[in-house]
Structure 1
């Protein structure tokens, strides 16, 4: 196995997915749920993210070419999805999101586009192009799995924090998460606009 490539994949995706930055958003989204439901949401989000990353690692370029989708278009779509969620967190008490069910929280925004967003997808596709044999393929797989394990651990051990925060603390975290998420969304949209202009 190509250890250097595995480390490079792990570090790159770790920076892009930002497990620490995901924790407050996760806490705000699962604040109205039971511990079991929150754990299920964490597993589902990681599973969705892993599935999307693996799918694009194997068939990403073919999928985009077939549908006629450019990477800037994916960035814009991801940014709009995150912006909608951010506005709900900022303008409400988070109840509208929390009431949507485990699968919805896991799919959007946790699994995608927050974790398996355009940045992670593009990075994975670029690493896949460097695969020259079984060792390289194994290295990319190990890097991807390692990052998702770290993300799951970050969300899993954020649950004790949720119990300590209580209602007022959760509301504060929700508002802060909304601000951070809106900034991420605007940055994704700005990046897509710059890419469209350069194209």
Structure 2
């Protein structure tokens, strides 16, 4: 069980990448007062948490409604997560997580907190896919609770990173953040491959034979 929790925690940590998203947060809240910046950070993380939890809890219903198997979802999800990991490894922003500047709303700090920060930067397709994949078709409330708890911890770390964004950037510097982003990309790529392997084993039971 501990191994499962650590795996889920690392998956969410890699795909959310709190440190790597800190410069993006600063860019979006530039010009706002400190109090407003804190509100944006709180609202964005809250929105991301509830979106992912909603999809995680409704995963079984979605599977049954659309006739989707867990194996197919893991394969498709693994491919999607790998694409995001590929961009991180190259030191680039994935378009699944980071929309172009012209797509970002400029009406208010509340809009920025919801989109693009809350979604898709934090609660993007990769994050949702990861949550649904780990929950899968389990009915074990304990296991589902552990997935949600792991995501909550990562959301808390993300909130703290945003809260002390300027200090984080001063301490780490752009080059170290780039290295950490690539490291997260590598971890995420391995997780994506594992998701595909599990999906293939589910789709083709003969692969489970020694």
Note the aligned Cα RMSD (angstroms). Answer: 4.2
CA distance in 1, matches of 2:197, 2:173: 36
Conservation of the 8 A alpha-carbon contact between 1:23 and 1:154: yes
Alignment of 1:115-130 (within 5 A): 115-118=127-130, 120-128=131-139
1:80 aligns with 2:83: yes
Q: How many Å separate the matches in 2 of 1:95 and 1:123?
A: 26
Within the alignment, does 1:50 sit opposite 2:53 as a pair?
yes
Q: Could you say which structure has the higher helix fraction?
A: 1
Looking at structure 1, the residues matched to 42 and 199 of structure 2 have their Cα atoms a distance apart, in angstroms, of 39
The SS at the match of 1:18 is helix
Q: Is the 8 A contact 2:85 2:186 kept in 1?
A: no
How many residue pairs get aligned? The number is 181
Whether the aligned pair in 1 keeps the contact of 2:134 and 2:147 (CA below 8 Å) is no
Distance 1:39 1:66 in 2: 34
Structure 2 unaligned blocks of 5 or more? 30-36, 105-111, 205-210
> Could you state the TM-score of these two structures normalised by the residue count of structure 1?
0.63
**Secondary structure in structure 1 of the residue aligned to 2:82:** helix
In 2, Cα distance between the equivalents of 1:159 and 1:65?
Answer: 39
Point out where structure 1 has 5 or more consecutive residues left out of the alignment: 132-136
Q: Do the aligned partners of residues 73 and 50 (structure 1) sit closer, same or farther apart at CA in structure 2, a change above 3 Å counting?
A: same
1:186 equivalent to 2:189? Answer yes
TM-score (norm 2): 0.61
Query: Which residue matches 1:107?
Result: 119
Q: Which moved more, 1:47-56 or 1:64-73?
A: 64-73
Residue 134 (structure 1) aligns with: none
Kindly report which structure 2 residues correspond to 1:1-199, keeping only aligned pairs within 5 A, or say none. 13-18=8-13, 22-34=17-29, 35=37, 36-56=39-59, 58-63=60-65, 65-66=67-68, 69-84=72-87, 87=90, 88-89=92-93, 100=104, 101-102=112-113, 103-118=115-130, 120-128=131-139, 131=140, 137=141, 139-140=142-143, 142-166=145-169, 169=172, 171-172=174-175, 174-188=177-191, 190-191=193-194, 194=197, 199=204
Offset at 1:25?
2.7
Q: Are the counterparts in 2 of residues 29 and 98 from structure 1 also a CA contact under 8 Å?
A: no
